[in-house]
Amino acid sequence: MSSKKGAVILYDTTLRDGTQQEGISLTVKDKLDITTKLDEIGIDIIEGGWPYSNPKDEEYFRRVSKLELSHSRIAAFGSTRRAGTSAAEDPNIQALVESKAEIITIVGKTWDLHVLEVLETSLDENIGMIRDSISYLKSKSLEVHFDAEHFFDGFEANKDYALKSIQAAANAGADAIHLCDTNGGVLPNKLSIIIEEVKETISTPLGIHVHNDGELAVANSITAVEKGVEYVQGTVNGYGERCGNANLCSIIPTLQIKMGLKVVNPDQMKKLSIIAKEISELMNMGINPSQPYVGSRAFAHKGGLHASAVAKVERSYEHMDPNIIGNDRKIVVSELAGRSNILSAAEKMGVEITKDESLRILESVKTAESEGFQYEGADASLEMLVRRNTGNYKAPFVLEDFMVLAEKLRRLPVSTSEEKDDDLLSEAMVKVRIGDNVYHTAAEGNGPVNALDEALRKALRDYFPRIDEIRLTDYKVRILNEEGATGAAVRVLIESTDGKESWNTVGSSTNIIYASWLALIDSIEYWMLKSSTSNPSS
């Protein structure tokens, strides 16, 4: 049993229930990497998968024992024995034993509807399946948990049978019984009442496993803890089938920070935001920026009045200190900003500005955003705007002129099938001033933006030999006024990297090439600033 007896025990099922979310598919290495990260944030039990269901999970259990985990214990998941057979002969039960997992979690039916119409067996046989499966696994000296599937729906439909089901699990020796809201529709007050009745029926430690179909999974998990439930199941970032499972990234700080229950140590709590993001990358799902606690917008302040208040008293518009969970306060600069937003942003950049400069910058932001720029997702462009509006910034280079040509070459003899994209040619010419010198260069590319990029680099390379460290990793175009059709204004967002850091820039114009050029210039100039190469002699 867990060493945290009497405390809340965190039970993560990201690797099993979380992978049932549409669009998620993990390799064995992914699952092992996630296991290590869950251990880092102090998860007590990690449900690794269902070894009988697929070869990938079998392989996971063969390899996970070789991981050097500092805290977490591994659970294998499976179902009760089949109707009409014995637990000793059931291949699913045998796969659980062979997994060598420290904990075995068995799921069984507690809703008579599922027993009669899904399993298509008798109510008594289902009770026998629960009892026999747990008894057999306990005879192997294993720690056994029982997931009472659809328990809350079953309780509402046939309370006596639902209670009889978990009583059978308790009598068979289950070490913990997890009450499942599998359809995710129970309300907190109803859940609370049912848990109280369950505690009058059995003394076995209880767990909670809820889904988020009613947007109540976290609330229901917290309510269950308030009613004395010891085990809390959930997934990182709330991954799971349909609307997802209870989100441990919200449950953990709520229990510890809001309710004063120690579930992880401070260093583990500090890793919560970064681990949530790292796991989202392994899931290839990204992370919802508006996700509570760990999202990038969780502590973002855009309104001028809000930013001004937070600058004076942080808790005036924040429910907690974001640093506790490894997140950051973010002051967003936009047309809704006030002077406090600008001052805060400049301080974070390490730029000292005067009151007059802050007002000038604020007006520049508002003018630019009225023309289609947006700085919320383009911090590098925002920093360049701030610096260009101060009196002590000198640009490392200045664009004098540029021209772009696009040509469709045709070969003879001509046939439609012979025409290829290779026949398209773009050529750009740029005139750039560096100090007192003007450089006029030309370059070809597979598109106008690529050609501009190549021509600019050609002009800068002698003075800035490290220019080729920069590469574009993403390029997005958004039409701002659809009614303008092909003459509409566009916003271009560029993501760049030098292999060490990434940054985003923005440009806007009715001319997509010029919008791209503006974003491109910001990207290169920002890199020069940050890499201390803005001085040609470096």
pLDDT in tens, 423-462: 678 898 999 899 888 989 999 888 888 888 899 999 898 8
Residues 100 and 68 in one domain: yes
Burial class (CB in 10 A: 0-12, 13-18, 19+), 413: exposed
Query: Final residue of a domain: which of 321, 354, 371?
Result: 371
Domain of 310 in residue numbering reads as 300-371
Instruction: Tell me the whole-structure pTM to 2 decimals.
Output: 0.70
Residues 89 and 18 in one domain: yes
User: Please, which residues bridge with residue 245 across strands?
Assistant: 211
- Residue 487: band (very low, low, confident or very high) from pLDDT cuts 50, 70, 90: low
- Residue 318: band (very low, low, confident or very high) from pLDDT cuts 50, 70, 90: low
Residues 38 and 164 in one domain: yes
CATH number of the domain encompassing residue 213: 3.20.20.70
Query: Final residue of a domain: which of 224, 252, 283?
Result: 283
Cα-Cα end-to-end distance for the chain: 62
Q: What are the pLDDT digits (tens) for 178-236?
A: 999 999 999 999 999 999 999 999 999 999 999 999 999 999 999 999 999 999 999 99
User: Is 535 inside any structural domain?
Assistant: no
Residues 359 and 491 in one domain: no
pLDDT at residue number 533: 46
Q: Give dist(CA 154, CA 38) in Å, integer.
A: 32
Residues 86 and 128 in one domain: yes
pLDDT for 499 beyond 60: yes
pLDDT at residue number 2: 45
When comparing pLDDT for 411 and 531, which is higher? 531
Number of domains observed in the structure of the chain: 3
Residues 195 and 311 in one domain: no
Q: What are the pLDDT digits (tens) for 109-166?
A: 999 999 999 999 999 999 999 999 999 999 999 999 999 999 999 999 999 999 999 9
pLDDT for 332 beyond 70: no
Give one DSSP letter per residue of 144-205, joined into a string: EEEEEETHHHHHHH-HHHHHHHHHHHHHTT-SEEEEEETTS---HHHHHHHHHHHHHH--S-
Query: Final residue of a domain: which of 254, 283, 312?
Result: 283
